[in-house]
Amino acid sequence: MKLLRYGPAGKEKPGLLDSDGKIRDLSQVIDDLNGDTVSPASLRKIAKLNEKRLPLVKGRPRLGPPIVPRRTFAI
């Protein structure tokens, strides 16, 4: 299982690449891939999912950055 984000730039959704190489939608399970959702507890929860029951993403969507970019400003 590989986690990824897909969709138009700035509107990416969380997903995973299943064992057949198809993208599955994770947006009903997590809001997005960020620091909170890649915690050990959250990753265990995702790993327990039956990937074949997740919605299949149709077509060949754009793949975005794997984690939501943080915007840090130093003053």
Structure-token pair, residue 33: 């891939």
Label residue 70 by pLDDT band (50, 70, 90): low
By the 8 A CB rule, do 2 and 20 touch?
A: no
* Range name among 10-14, 17-21, 32-36, 60-64 with the lowest pLDDT average: 32-36
Dihedral of alpha carbons 71, 11, 9, 68, sign: positive
Which pLDDT score is estimated for 23? 98
Label residue 68 by pLDDT band (50, 70, 90): confident
Angle ∠(45,39,35) on CA atoms, nearest 5: 125
Structure-token pair, residue 11: 């509107």
